[in-house]
Structure 1
Amino acid sequence: MLRIAVTGKPGVGKSTVVSGVVQKLDLKACGVRAAEIRVDGERQGFSIEDIDTGRKGILSHIKCTGPKLGKYHVNIGDLDGIGAEAIRAASGCDLVVIDEVGPMELRSENFIRAVEEILDSDRPILAVLHRSSKHPLAQRIRDEFEVLTVDENNRDCLPDRIAARFQQC
Structure 2
Amino acid sequence: MLRIAVTGNPGVGKSTVVTKAVEKLNLKACGIRAAEIRVDGIRQGFSIEDIDTGRKGVLSHVKGTGPKLGKYHVNLEDLDGIGAGALRDAIACDLVVIDEVGPMELKSENFVRAVEAVLDSDRPVLAVLHRSSRHPLAQRMRREFEVLVVDEGNRDELPERIAERFR
* Shorter-chain TM band: over 0.9
Give the equivalent residue in structure 1 for 2:131: 131
- Across the aligned residues of Structure 1 and Structure 2, the Cα RMSD in angstroms comes to 0.3
Distance 1:158 1:37 in 2: 25
Letter in 2 for 1:104: M
SS at 1:92 equivalent: coil
Give the equivalent residue in structure 1 for 2:94: 94
Question: Post-superposition shift, 1:65?
Answer: 1.3
Residue by residue over 1:124-146, the C-alpha shift from the partner in whole angstroms, topping out at 9 and shown as x without a partner, is 00000000000000000000000
Q: How does 1:12-161 map to 2 (within 5 A)?
A: 12-161=12-161
Residue by residue over 1:82-131, the C-alpha shift from the partner in whole angstroms, topping out at 9 and shown as x without a partner, is 00000000011000000000000000000000000110000000000000
Q: Give the share of equivalent positions with the same residue, in percent.
A: 81
Question: Post-superposition shift, 1:64?
Answer: 1.5
Letter in 2 for 1:39: V
- Structure 1 runs of 4+ aligned residues shifted over 2 Å read none
Letter in 1 for 2:16: T
SS at 1:98 equivalent: strand
Give unpaired runs (5+ residues) of structure 1.
none
State the TM-score, normalizing by the size of structure 1. Answer: 0.98
Give unpaired runs (5+ residues) of structure 2.
none
Give the equivalent residue in structure 2 for 1:10: 10
Letter in 1 for 2:104: M
Distance 1:64 1:147 in 2: 33
SS at 2:26 equivalent: coil
Letter in 2 for 1:48: I
Letter in 2 for 1:68: K
Question: Post-superposition shift, 1:27?
Answer: 0.2
